[in-house]
Structure 1
Amino acid sequence: MTMLRRRAWPVLATTAVLAAGVLSAGPVTAGKPLGDNVAAAPAPEVSAFDVAGGATVPFIEQEAENVAHNGTVIGPNRLYTTLPSEASGRRAVTLDAVGEYVEFTLTAPANAMTVRYSLPDNAAGTGITAPIDLRVNGSKVRDLPLTSKYGWFYGSYPFTNQPGDKPHHFYDETRTMFGSTLGAGTKVRLQVASMGASSFTIDLADFENVAAPIGRPAGALSVVDYGANPNGGGDSTAAFQAAVDAGRTQGKVVYIPQGTYFLYDHVIVDQVTLAGAGQWYSVLTGRHPTQRQKAVGIYGKYVGEGGPSQNVTLKDFAIIGDIAERVDGDQVNAIGGAMSNSTVDAVWMQHTKVGAWMDGPMDRFRIVNSRILDQTADGVNFHIGVTNSSVENTFVRNTGDDGLAMWAENRGGVTNAGNSFVRNTVVLPILANNIVVYGGRDMNVSDNVVADTVSNGGGLHVGNRYDGVNGPTGVLGTFTLARNTLIRAGNGDYNWPFPIGAIWFDARNEPMVNATINVTDTDIIDSSYAAIHFVSGTTRGVNFNNVRINRTGTFAIQLNDPGAASFTNVTATGIGFTEPIYSCLGSGFTITQGGGNSGWNTKLPNTYCGPFPPPNYGGTTPTGPRIAVSPGALAFGDQQVGTTGAARAVTISNPGDATANISSVSVSGDYARTTNCGATLAPGASCTANVTFTPTAAGSRTGALSVSSNATGSPHTVSLSGNGTTANANLALNRPVSASSYTQVYGPGNAVDGNASSYWESANNAFPQTLTVDLGSARNVGRIVLKLPPSSAWGTRSQTVAVAKSADGGGYSTVVGATSYTFDPATGNTATITFAATSARFLRLTFTANSGWPAGQCSEFEVYAS
């Protein structure tokens, strides 16, 4: 028996959040308290610190809504672009009048505090700054300045600072030391003394007892001795660079004494230790006053510029930048470049674009015991050929994009491999995922706690997504996702017509079928929509073992695209929708069950297929009549224009607990149906509609079967698609296509764009190479035409090509073995491959030789029925 090391879950609050739409939930806002005007603490939401695992942090966190206050509780609410949706636990306290306060009572001695808060923006989008009183046991200590300078982004990506639609990234954090150690029981109050802003929203406070400054190590060089100014005056970049260069040549530690240092540009480190007096004492900040693309940062040498840097240690200081916008091309990250055999230990990173954006190739790089806060983009990104590297015991909050990411973008075939994210706590990424792995080989994401995804992502994500994640840089080998806890993860995506699950898999670049992905000993708590989600292309080889799902907004499992997964000891309670599984795929997704499953599998193979229901956060299952249609989509393949194909069956059922009254079952497009359904469906009853397809013209022919009834979400539809064919229909035109590699701008899309002058070309001297087209559904095919550009500059050449097929993107079988084909400009640089008619959705060309150039080349990959 596998022993889980999880502690018992806390009791979850049962207050419902009312649904406000298919992909969002509206607010429930408490009014101001009565009586003595001090609010009683509401039932707390589960916190990232209520469960085992994650980072060991030096602070004790208190949520504003759970302590004494006389303000207004906002939330809970998970609707993107609303203030509570970005609050920890989705609740906070707004103070909007003089005298209003939030008061924390210390549970342990502390001499420092970090406050997470939000102020409104100004009309110019540059933010406002306003003080709030910091009081200890009733006496004012000082003004604590708060600002909205580093928040408030607008629009869809890429974001702007110009006020408009889709406001987000509302919160920021400030830290302060009290000047003395306050004992347990001390009351620390934040109180509005003047209305420098129209409101002050307090989310939480972290209290800690910071150790004394670390002294200068024996024999160490000091940046001050090289001219660095610890009082914040002038530009200390050159002084820092001189100090670290001397430390490298002399083999000595370089020390950053207590103080604040302005750096207008990067300091390049190699074979040196740069150590400060502590994260609260040695602070690096600054940005070039005119060249705004330059800012404080500690960087390794890039490959091609003498890098990667080697044997670097960065420890015990803070980089608190001045980045208030997101410009992806600017290198304004706290840490960057390439560093091998190097460590970042106990470094505080805040107000930069990315905490650490590492561009490989590089090997054995570690970030440990650090804090990454308030970034405009990612917290960490391991990008291009980062291997055997890790982020460990690190706390990440309020990133503008993925919290912790690995992105194996293909640059010359080098991939990420052997990396790990372990024992981290990642909360409130404002965009994208808490933790994500985009491609790579043999990755480990374990013992993390993630919470409160806001938009466009989930808690944990593995995907063949983003540029260059395919072929040798796709998801390969063994992925381990073990002993992670996900709290309020997943969300309603504002770009896509479906919500995203807490753990999700996306194979949009190419099928994700060449890896084993093991998800074990995992807790999914109060997911915003589905707990587990598969989408965009075919994913197989995922194994769930000892996974506990406790409350979902909608489904336990959401299946948008084909694949296969195994489930053992996967239990679910508090599912938000009547049917625990969403799928319109029929047999297109294979669920293999081991023992010990419960709460989600009792109605298999029946699943729900219909409009996505609004999330139900009340922990109760909806009742009443329901309508489910299965499958949710029917693809009829190729059919000659004017002829009728074989009938396909659609099952209409009522999985609810009351009779469903059916008012109509209709079809649209080039489709017809017969049905055995009457005017009603009793609970548990079902009927069958048989659909036929008679195309009236060549090309894609879509339609729908629609069931109208008194059930929630009516009408319920099945998408119908088929292809009217003639002898001259190119089935591959403008279809999704992928390649094992490509050179410069000669990407695989050029091979299906209908333009013979554009072309795909693989990496040089790297045979075999593949070019794969997805026809969208099973098609009857019997002829392939390959073209090269018809220019006289393309001399005659022969290419050796094999053809294979697949029904789902995996398990390819040979259609035509490797054969040499001649491309001659005199005959249009065209080669035709004919074969016995066969059914295929995916067709793959494998190039193994080219007499004219050491790469696979193709300007048009055309597919025909015969």
Structure 2
Amino acid sequence: MTPPPAGPRLLRRSLSASLSLALAAAGTAAAVVLAGAPPAQAAAVPAPSPVGISGRGATVPFKEQEAEYAATNGSLIGPDRLYGSLPSEASGRQAVTLDSAGEYVEFTLTAPANAMTFRHSLPDNAAGTGRDASLDLRINGSSLKSVPVTSKYGWYYGGYPFNNNPGDTNPHHFYDETRTTFGSTLAAGTKVRLQVTSTAASPSFTIDLADFEQVAAPVGKPSGALDVVSDFGADPSGAADSTAKIQAAVDAGRTQGREVYIPQGTFKVQDHIVVDKVTLRGAGPWYSVLTGRHPTDRGKAVGVYGKYSAQGGSSNVTLKDFAIIGDIRERVDNDQVNAIGGAMSHSVVDNVWMQHTKCGAWMDGPMDDFTIRNSRILDQTADGVNFHYGVTNSTVTNTFVRNTGDDGLAMWAENVPNVKNKFTFNTVILPILANNIVTYGGRDITISDNVMSDTVTNGGGLHIANRYPGVNSGQGTAVSGTHTAARNTLIRTGNNDFNWRFGVGAIWFSGLNEPINGATINITDSEILDSSYAAIHLIEGASNGLHFDNIKIDGAGTYALQIQAPGTASFNKVVATHIAQSNPIHNCVGSGFQITQGTGNSGWYANPPACTGVWPAPVWTNGGVPGGGGPTDPTDPPDPTDPPEETGNLAQGRPITETGHADVYGAGNAVDGNAGSYWESRNNAFPQSVTVDLGAAKALKRLVLRLPPAAAWAARTQTIGVTGSTDNSAYSSLKAPTGYTFDPSSGNTATVTLTGTPVRYLRLTFTANTGWPAGQLSELEAYTS
């Protein structure tokens, strides 16, 4: 059995946010029907979105829309999760292909926007060097501009470390992302179309999704800062090499104790900018861009690096508000062509956009107290982030990662312990190889409040393991102490691995180098949704000390548990539904795997378990009835209008939008399950509204509206109208505007009765409030009975 080549490479040397799979795509636009444009065929195959899950993952500045739910006259591809197919690497495993002039995908803005990023794929050329083409960007039917697109950053072939030779098999890494601005702010409701004008440069264009955002004005130069252009002569046009001039500015900033400012512009940088004890700040990642590669020495390219530990390392560095967009088109692990690297202790990377480099950040310790936050890492040839070799007390948080060529976020304790590191509140989507989030060894590690989705091959969603060189107890680098993985949501993770034909689980553990012993591993308060193979998986040596508490498993392509190695685990309040196999456990190690059951378990346990010599083909749910969209039954897609009957509050944790809010009182407070937090609209600006996406059409019979129960919230009457929609376009009245009294003596609640008209989008519109000149709501609860 050949283990898969997942994980990091020797780069220098060689249920509170519960999500139901019966619901349609959360956080995406529903199909919009225009004259002459049929609705996308994929509207009948809903797939939960990893973006916009309340309380989990990165808080992103954009509204995401999937192409398969937009208006189009193109062709649906997918759903499919088989490695090497174009839809397998698409978000939600579906996309739209345009292959003739006049075909398009058209999105309808749900909020004002002045910029977009869209994910696309073009076929490779015969030489494997990629092709360049363009799409027409049209606004409300009128052409705005031609947007260049390319395939030169995609299309790898062969086995690891891969190549650009189309003569080899195993094509993968198909997609890329392009960003563009509109030149003005477009209002909600604007139609934004990507249209093919010619197929001469490319025979087809596949559109996966678009992210729309309102980019703020550029940040001005801080008082007293050094300017790389006006003070040091860097070229903002990108025509001349600015490497030496930016380096001189950084060195002066360090010696003078002054910030260094990168103004608006695109700056050619052909080697590392080495930073130490300095702040390097831009005008914003849409305005200040570092890019470039050495014209002859391909091992040199744009990057901002700390000194290596052998050189003493760097410290007290801040990198903020700029983009590093490289030109890396291949994977050569000996090349240090990452966006950020070296060692930086007591340092922060904040709001940095990293794209088209090898790794977003490959950090070589020993180093301590390093943070990446509020950043975007896109289209890498290897890892998104790797904390390598003695990184301690360091964090990646509120960061959005998509389309990495290897692990999305990784820690690798090679030879020197990694200790007390944290990956929290990140969204990690579509690692093309390996895992969404992983720790190879390490002590007292936290991986919590993240969203992981759409693993492609050679890995799972969350991986904890004694694997890869230098991870062993003799050096103190093995898994030890307490590992905490809490409040994570995993969607369509794990895969039917092309080396291990039996697949890799959504959450998996490995004792390949040596058994995991003496550690406590707590997996709590999490959802494992629509796993491509097994939900939980043990392999390659014993894994002990596992504790699963309050886990929802909804949908697994094969088993709830796939046990291929000994170990010990406790299970408490683990509930599994929609498991493809009638026996939910596969276990051929028998009593070598010891299960301790607590209370509240259901759906995942069987005695005896299955032990077969034939691994079943996975059956994928794609957000609906098991069997739909999978390779064993591709003709039976789920019907989103007929989900399983649900009970409980259908609004809690769902995506919510608003017309506006005051101060910190955003609409997310109205669906967070906490009556003490609340939404408050802009003052003196009636009417104001909130809109909840329930994920699929629900026959609502009752709403419960709450204000904080504290006595300080005096009685008041709010006038509220209720409307609903199935497509987020045409809304009809469910309840005429009515005055509802909220009185703390009776719990500060009001009940709205409805007739059961099915709606996916539920909108409350506030037009008056006797207690405050704004709409106020601490909880919106929606019920079908």
Same fold (TM over 0.5): yes
Instruction: Return the letter of the residue paired with 1:458.
Output: G
Name the stretch that deviates more: 219-228 or 65-74: 219-228
In 2, Cα distance between equivalents of 1:104 and 1:391: 32
| Structure 2 residue 532 is matched with structure 1 residue 528 | yes
Separation of aligned partners in 1, 2:408 and 2:106: 30
| Partner Cα separation in structure 2 for residue 39 and residue 496 of structure 1 | 35
Residues 577 and 621, structure 1, Cα contact 8 Å, conserved in 2? no
The aligned counterpart of 1:539 is: 543
> Is structure 2 residue 319 aligned with structure 1 residue 314?
yes
Q: Is residue 7 of structure 2 the alignment partner of residue 6 of structure 1?
A: no
In structure 2, the partner of 1:178 is: 182
- Matched positions, count: 598
Q: Residue 38 of structure 1: CA displacement?
A: 4.7
CA distance in 2, matches of 1:578, 1:498: 17
Secondary structure class of the residue paired with 1:89: helix
- Give CA deviations for 1:161-191 in whole Å, capped at 9, x if unaligned: 1112100000000000110000000000000
Contact 2:509/2:538, CA 8 A, preserved across alignment: yes
Residue in 2 that maps onto 1:750: none
Give the corresponding residue for 2:274.
268
- Structure 2 equivalent of residue 250 of structure 1: 256
Question: Partner of 1:499 in structure 2?
Answer: 503
Asked if 1:128 corresponds to 2:139, the answer is: no
**1:313 alignment partner AA:** T
Contact persistence 1:9–1:51 (CA under 8 A): no
Deviation for aligned residue 1:131: 0.8
Q: Which runs of 5+ in 2 are unaligned?
A: 1-14, 26-33, 628-785
In structure 2, what is the equivalent of residue 49 of structure 1?
51
Asked whether the 8 Å contact 2:409–2:437 carries over to 1, the reply is yes
Q: How big is the shift at 1:11?
A: 2.6
**CA deviation after TM superposition for structure 1 residue 6, in Å:** 1.4
Aligned to 2:570: 566
The verdict on how the C-alpha distance between 1:477 and 1:576 changes in structure 2, with shifts beyond 3 A counting, is same
8 Å contact kept, 1:371–1:396: yes
CA distance in 1, matches of 2:20, 2:77: 25
**Do 1:579 and 1:608's aligned partners in 2 also have CA atoms closer than 8 Å?**
no
Say yes or no: does 1:355 pair with 2:360: yes
SS of residue paired to 2:481: strand
Out of 281, 289, 297, the residue aligned to residue 295 of structure 2 is 289
Deviations 1:253-310 (A, max 9, x none): 00000000000100100000000000100000000000010000000011121x2201
Q: Which amino acid aligns with 1:326?
A: R
Distance across 1 between alignment mates of 2:554 and 2:574: 11
Of 229, 232, 237, the residue aligned with 1:231 is 237
2:338 maps to which residue? 333
Could you tell me how far apart the structure 1 residues matched to 2:177 and 2:276 are?
Answer: 32
CA contact (8 A) 1:334 1:354 kept: yes
Q: Secondary structure at the match of 1:440?
A: coil
Q: Over residues 729-755 of structure 1, what are the superposed CA-to-partner deviations in whole Å (9 max), with x where a residue is unaligned?
A: xxxxxxxxxxxxxxxxxxxxxxxxxxx
- For residues 51 and 181 of structure 1, the distance between their equivalents in structure 2, rounded to whole angstroms, comes to 26
Q: 1:35 offset after TM fit, Å?
A: 8.0
Tell me which amino acid in the other structure corresponds to 1:274: L
Contact persistence 1:531–1:552 (CA under 8 A): yes
Q: Over residues 457-481 of structure 1, what are the superposed CA-to-partner deviations in whole Å (9 max), with x where a residue is unaligned?
A: 0000001001111121110110000
Work out the CA distance in 2 between the residues paired with 1:146 and 1:557.
Answer: 43
User: 2:547, 2:208 → 1: CA distance?
Assistant: 38
Inter-CA distance 34–575: structure 2 relative to 1 (3 Å threshold):
farther
Which residue of structure 1 aligns with residue 309 of structure 2?
303
Q: What are the within-5 Å matches in structure 2 for residues 817-832 of structure 1?
A: none
Residue 417 of structure 1: which of 393, 416, 419 is its match?
419
Instruction: Please point out which of 59, 63, 81 is paired with 1:60.
Output: 63
Distance 1:142 1:13, change over 3 A: closer
Which residue does 2:436 correspond to in 1? 434
Residue 384 of structure 2 is aligned to residue 379 of structure 1:
yes
Partner of 1:39: 40
1:78-128 Cα distance to aligned partner (Å, 9 max, x none):
000000000000000000011000000000000000010000000110000
Whether the 8 Å CA contact 1:254–1:273 is kept in 2: the answer is: yes
Cα distance in 2 for residues equivalent to 1:301 and 1:51: 38
Which of 430, 434, 456 is the equivalent residue of 1:454? 456
Using CA pairs below 8 Å that are at least 6 residues apart, which structure has the higher relative contact order?
Answer: 2
1:194 to 198, 209, 221: 198
Cα separation, 2, equivalents of 1:585 and 1:507: 15
User: Does 2:612 match 1:609?
Assistant: yes
Q: Which residue among 522, 528, 531 is the counterpart of 1:518? A: 522
Aligned twin of 2:480: 476
Scaled by the length of structure 2, the TM-score of the pair is: 0.75
Give, in angstroms, the shift of residue 578 of structure 1. Answer: 1.1
CA distance in 1, matches of 2:225, 2:18: 45
TM-score (norm 1): 0.68
Query: Does structure 2 conserve the Cα–Cα contact (< 8 Å) formed by 1:42 and 1:66?
Result: no
The answer to whether residue 94 in structure 2 is matched with residue 96 in structure 1 is no
1:553 matched to 2:528? The reply is: no
Q: CA deviation at 1:39?
A: 3.4
Q: Is the 8 A contact 1:576 1:620 kept in 2?
A: no
Alpha-carbon distance between aligned partners in 2 of 1:35 and 1:368, rounded to the nearest angstrom = 44
Larger Rg: 1
Structure 1 position 42, deviation (Å): 3.2
Equivalent AA in structure 2 for residue 575 of structure 1: I
Name whichever structure is richer in strand by fraction. 1
1:705-734 CA-partner distances (Å, limit 9, x unpaired): xxxxxxxxxxxxxxxxxxxxxxxxxxxxxx
Q: How far apart are the structure 2 equivalents of 1:170 and 1:359?
A: 29
CA distance in 2, matches of 1:91, 1:477: 41
Matches of 2:334 and 2:124, distance apart in 1: 25
Matches of 1:39 and 1:380, distance apart in 2: 36
Contact 1:578 1:621 in 2 (8 A): no
Quick one: distance in 1 between partners of 2:212 and 2:189? 13
5+ residue gaps, structure 1: 15-32, 623-866
Please give the per-residue CA displacement for 1:147-170, whole angstroms capped at 9, x wherever unaligned: 000000001111001112100000
Q: Distance in 1 between matches of 2:38 and 2:598?
A: 55
- The amino acid across from 1:212 in the alignment is A
One of 338, 359, 372 as aligned partner of 1:367: 372
Corresponding residue for 1:152? 155
Q: Is the 8 A contact 2:584 2:609 kept in 1?
A: no
Q: Are residues 314 and 530 of structure 1, via their aligned partners in 2, closer, same or farther at CA, if it must alter by over 3 Å?
A: same
Instruction: Write the deviation string for residues 192-230 of structure 1: whole angstroms up to 9, x where unpaired.
Output: 001120100000000000000000000000111212110
RMSD over aligned CA atoms reads 1.7
> How many angstroms does 1:50 deviate by?
5.1
> Which aligned pairs between 1:618-697 and structure 2 lie closer than 5 A?
618=621
State how far apart, in whole Å, the 1-side matches of 2:426 and 2:625 are.
32
In structure 1, distance between residues paired with 2:52 and 2:221? 38
Determine whether 1:77 maps to 2:77. Answer: no
AA matched with 1:408: A
Q: What's the offset of the Cα at 1:495? A: 1.7
Question: Is the CA contact (8 Å cut-off) linking 2:18 and 2:527 kept in structure 1?
Answer: no
Q: What CA distance in whole angstroms lies between the structure 1 residues aligned with 2:455 and 2:562?
A: 18
2:727 corresponds in structure 1 to none
1:11 counterpart letter in structure 2: A
Cα distance in 1 for residues equivalent to 2:480 and 2:427: 26
Q: What displacement does 1:397 show?
A: 0.1
In the aligned structure 1, how far is the partner of 2:130 from the partner of 2:568? 49
Q: Secondary structure at the match of 2:309?
A: coil
Contact 1:362 1:385 in 2 (8 A): yes
Partner SS state of residue 492, structure 1: coil
Deviation of 1:541 (Å): 0.3
Over residues 748-780 of structure 1, what are the superposed CA-to-partner deviations in whole Å (9 max), with x where a residue is unaligned?
xxxxxxxxxxxxxxxxxxxxxxxxxxxxxxxxx
Q: How far 1:235 moved relative to its partner?
A: 1.0
Counterparts of 1:533 and 1:8 in 2: how far apart (Å)?
Answer: 22
Contact 1:118 1:202 survives alignment (8 Å): yes
Q: Distance in 2 between matches of 1:596 and 1:556?
A: 16
